[in-house]
Amino acid sequence: MIILGIESSCDETAAALVTADRQVLAHRLLGQEAAHAPFGGVVPEIAARAHVEALEPLIVAALADAGLKLADVDAIAATAGPGLIGGVMVGLVTGKALAHAAGKPLIAVNHLEGHALSPRLSDPDLAFPYLLLLVSGGHCQLLLVEGVGAYRRLATTIDDAAGEAFDKTAKILGLGFPGGPAVERAAALGNPKAVPLPRPLKGSAEPHFSFAGLKSAVARVVGDYPPEDIAASFQAAVVDCLIDRTTRALNGLTVTPTALVVAGGVAANGAVRGALQTLAATRGLRFVAPPLWLCTDNAAMIAWAGAERFAAGLTDPLDTAARPRWPLDPAAEAVRGAGV
């Protein structure tokens, strides 16, 4: 069984072909960094236009890489949200058109489900339930992944996402865009103990996250220390918060997870991966992190989530709407009244 995956929810246009037995037959990706860099962040209108230009050639190239025709594909999985509505619509409409033309089922994939299940593409032994730290550009959540479509959100950020904090810190330090890799490179040259920075919500009872105060603290010390020391100290503070909050979530679990898992763009960070690996080891848990290319946005994770959903008998009608907001755990989202 072969799934074509399409991703266009932010600033990566991507197409991939993945089999139900975890072979990545092809994956193509075109980033838009150069187009957005002058603005220091993703400009939705520019992103949507770039997806329109890039997507069809990427799908054609991915099929050619795999030596396949559209007729060989068993189903088409496209990101249907959450994300920038213009971009999501480009990918979803393309997926619908291909599904209609080829007479194949459509699978409308939640981008966050793509991140959440991506570790199962790279690790065939990863079984449910697992505790997932989902750390990306727009999200910072702890989820108990109980099965395909069964996500229990234990915690989320009350303000910024972890990736957003990396991106804003990079901007404040003048390190460029996208910020995560730039901060990690600068941090490698700095002293993580040089700059006193806060650890928001560290020690609090609920395992929620907060990063806005950390970003503001970075803005206050800029110029007082070498940027490398600020980057290293910022990264250490983020890691501290992630570990403290994940520990809290582990302590509150009523089931024993099969593994501690990290996914999303920030999971590409070496310090984050290393600290989580240590935490898992101290708890006697297996640690699973996807390879770096599978952490940041890509279409293989969308194809894989499509394969998992298809195997569970889940397909979607061609009038499925794009959803700029689409929580993985609607029940948890509904109790946001307390600010979370």
Site residues (vs ligand ATP, CB under 6 A): 10, 83, 111, 115, 136-139, 163-164, 166-167, 178-181, 184, 264-266, 268-269, 296-297
Question: Distance between CA 181 and CA 249 in Å, rounded?
Answer: 27
180 has binding-site annotation: yes
Helix (H) or strand (E) run with residue 294 in it:
helix 292-295
**Exposed e or buried b per residue across 307-327, where buried means at least 16 C-beta atoms within 10 angstroms of its C-beta:** bbbbeeeebbeeebebbeebb
Helix, coil or strand: residue 187:
helix
Judged by CB under 5 A, which stretch of 200-208, 211-219, 291-299, 313-321 contacts Fe ion?
291-299
Q: How far is the CB of 285 from Mg ion (least distance, A)?
A: 29
- Select 31 or 226, whichever has its Cβ closest to Mg ion: 31
Which of 167, 184, 297, 316 is the binder for Fe ion (CB under 5 A)? 297
181 binds, among ligand ATP, Mg ion, Fe ion, none (CB under 5 to 8 A by kind): ligand ATP
Question: Distance between CA 247 and CA 240 in Å, rounded?
Answer: 11
- State both tokens at 205: 């009872």
- State both tokens at 124: 């065939």
Contact between 8 and Fe ion per CB under 5 A: no
Question: With contact defined as beta carbons under 8 Å apart, do 142 and 154 qualify?
Answer: yes
Q: What is the DSSP letter of 76?
A: E
- Select 29 or 66, whichever has its Cβ closest to ligand ATP: 29
- Select 3 or 14, whichever has its Cβ closest to ligand ATP: 14
Question: Distance between CA 50 and CA 335 in Å, rounded?
Answer: 37
CA 200 to centroid of chain Cα atoms: 22
> Across the chain, where does the E strand assignment appear?
2-7, 12-19, 24-31, 75-81, 106-110, 130-135, 140-147, 150-155, 259-263, 286-288
Residue type, 239: V
Q: How far is the CB of 272 from Fe ion (least distance, A)?
A: 15
CA 97 to centroid of chain Cα atoms: 26
136 has binding-site annotation: yes
Residue type, 223: G
159 has binding-site annotation: no
Phi/psi class of residue 103: alpha, beta or left (left: φ > 0; alpha: ψ in -120 to 50)?
A: left
In the shown chain, the binding pattern of residues 258 to 297 toward Mg ion, with x for contact by CB under 5 A and - for none, equals: ----------------------------------------
Q: How far is the CB of 48 from ligand ATP (least distance, A)?
A: 15
Please name every residue paired with 144 in a beta bridge, in sequence order, or none if there are none. 131, 152
- Select 184 or 229, whichever has its Cβ closest to ligand ATP: 184
In the shown chain, the binding pattern of residues 249 to 288 toward Fe ion, with x for contact by CB under 5 A and - for none, equals: ----------------------------------------
Q: How far is the CB of 209 from ligand ATP (least distance, A)?
A: 13
18 binds, among Fe ion, ligand ATP, Mg ion, none (CB under 5 to 8 A by kind): none
Sign of CA dihedral 68, 16, 76, 294: positive
Helix, coil or strand: residue 222:
strand
36 binds, among Mg ion, Fe ion, ligand ATP, none (CB under 5 to 8 A by kind): none
Q: What is the DSSP letter of 209?
A: B
Sign of CA dihedral 248, 251, 252, 253: positive
Contact between 164 and Mg ion per CB under 5 A: no
Judged by CB under 5 A, which stretch of 16-24, 272-280, 294-302, 310-318 contacts Fe ion?
294-302
Contact between 11 and Mg ion per CB under 5 A: yes
- Select 116 or 249, whichever has its Cβ closest to ligand ATP: 116
Which of 136, 233, 269, 298 is the binder for Fe ion (CB under 5 A)? 136
Binding-site annotation: residue ranges for substrate: 134-138, 167, 180, 184, 269
Site of interaction with Mg ion (CB under 5 A): 10-12
